[in-house]
């Protein structure tokens, strides 16, 4: 690591401290921000104090154990992120269409769909674009793309009505019932909907309630865990049709009442709305569009 300086030099005084402020927020504390910026902790603290003095407000409430954004700090942070996104967009305008995607692509993907399909589509880009870096976060929670610095996300379900996000539809996901061959052998055949009430279910916590009326004593927040429990013979599980198909081919699950399906949910890739799209985001969207229909066709 190079020599740390106690002086922070910015080319434009009006924006003095902006990069420093963003690093403090994203690092979680002054010490980590100082490491990332190759500055002393004292310089970081002084730079933040100058920024707060110039803005005439407190941006961060700090204690020895934690820090959190004030209301003004949260608003300023979000504006800074949007401004940086616009700067990145401005740079992308200068890119030739023949230039390769480069830089870090940060993506948020749902757990099961991300692991099985979306993530392989994205990391496959590394074979074609040596200047590209990919960072993937797997979660079924709804992330704030601007606040958490994501370039794009894959969402399953209805999208919020907002002009802050752009979206492209990838397909739709239907949901059905499945169980392991061992479970069905143990409990007997399920021939009609009325038979379902006598069975034990495995529920996905993030889903809206299903129509079956199956009692679900096991509640999980990960679709892959729901599938694993079904494979283990715990009970009936509501699962995406593409995930059922994946394990039916391996003999680990059987579809139950195949014609009985929940309302299909749309699948979208979304990204922060900007005047121009960076090449890294464009190629990632194209890869997801190319990969997703083929996996849904098997459902």
| Domains along the chain with CATH numbers | 13-89 (1.10.10.10), 100-171+265-297 (3.40.190.10), 175-256 (3.40.190.10)
200-204 and 215-220 beta bridge pairing: parallel
3-state secondary structure of 162: coil
Residue 32 CA neighbour count, 13 Å, CB half: 10
Note the pLDDT of residue 94. 63
Beta carbons of 260 and 175 less than 8 angstroms apart: no
On average, the pLDDT of the chain sits at 83
CA distance 113 to 227: 12
First to last CA, the chain: 52
Is the separation of the CB atoms in 249 and 178 below 8 Å?
Answer: no
**pLDDT for the residue numbered 11:** 44
- How many whole angstroms separate alpha carbon 191 and alpha carbon 10? 72
Find, among 150, 149, 81, 163, the residue nearest to 114 by Cα: 150
Continuous segment of H or E residues that includes residue 134 = strand 132-138
At 124-133, the pLDDT tens digits run 999 999 999 9
pLDDT of residue 286: 93
CA 271/CA 144 separation, integer angstroms: 10
Alpha-carbon dihedral 155, 160, 162, 167, rounded to 10 degrees: 30
Q: Are strands 175-179 and 67-69 parallel, antiparallel or unpaired?
A: unpaired
**Residue 214, pLDDT above cutoff 80:** no
DSSP code for 97:
T
Question: Could you tell me if 152 and 135 are in contact, meaning their C-beta atoms sit under 8 angstroms apart?
Answer: no
Q: How confident is the model at residue 212 (pLDDT cuts 50, 70, 90)?
A: low
Structure confidence at residue 187 (pLDDT): 86
Given this model, what pLDDT does residue 7 score? 43
Pick the residue with more confidence: 215 or 130?
A: 130
The pLDDT tens digits of the residues spanning 1-59 come to 343 434 443 444 566 788 888 888 888 888 888 888 888 888 888 889 998 888 889 99
CB 239 within 8 A of CB 227: yes
CB-based contacts of 188: which residues, under 8 Å, 6+ apart? Answer: none
Burial class (CB in 10 A: 0-12, 13-18, 19+), 25: buried
- Rg, Å, the chain Cα set: 24
């Amino acid at each position: 690591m190079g020599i740390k300086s106690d002086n922070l030099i910015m080319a434009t005084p009006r924006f003095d401290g902006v990069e420093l402020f963003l690093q403090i927020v994203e690092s979680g504390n002054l010490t980590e921000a100082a490491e990332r910026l190759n500055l002393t902790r004292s310089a970081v603290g002084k730079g933040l104090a100058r920024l707060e003095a110039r803005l005439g407000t407190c941006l961060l409430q700090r204690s020895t154990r934690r820090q959190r954004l004030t209301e003004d700090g949260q608003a300023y942070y979000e504006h800074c992120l949007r401004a940086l996104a616009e700067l990145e967009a401005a740079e992308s305008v200068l890119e030739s269409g023949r230039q390769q995607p480069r830089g870090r692509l940060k993506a948020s993907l749902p757990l099961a769909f991300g692991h099985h399909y979306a993530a392989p589509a994205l990391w496959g880009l590394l074979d074609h674009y040596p200047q590209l870096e990919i960072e993937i976060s797997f979660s079924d929670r709804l992330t704030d793309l601007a606040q958490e610095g994501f370039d794009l996300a894959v969402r399953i379900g209805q999208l919020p009505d907002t002009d802050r996000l752009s979206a492209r539809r990838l397909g739709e996901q239907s949901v059905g019932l499945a169980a392991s061959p061992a479970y069905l052998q143990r409990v007997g055949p399920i021939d009609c909907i009325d038979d379902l009430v006598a069975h034990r279910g495995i529920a996905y916590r993030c889903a809206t309630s299903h129509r079956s009326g199956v009692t679900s004593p096991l509640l999980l927040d990960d679709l892959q865990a729901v599938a694993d429990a079904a494979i283990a013979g715990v009970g009936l599980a509501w699962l995406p049709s593409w995930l059922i198909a994946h394990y039916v081919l391996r003999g680990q699950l059987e579809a139950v009442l195949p014609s009985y399906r929940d309302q299909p949910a749309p699948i979208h890739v979304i990204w922060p709305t900007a005047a121009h799209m960076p090449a890294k985001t464009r190629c990632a969207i194209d890869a997801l569009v190319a990969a997703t229909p083929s996996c849904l066709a098997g459902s």
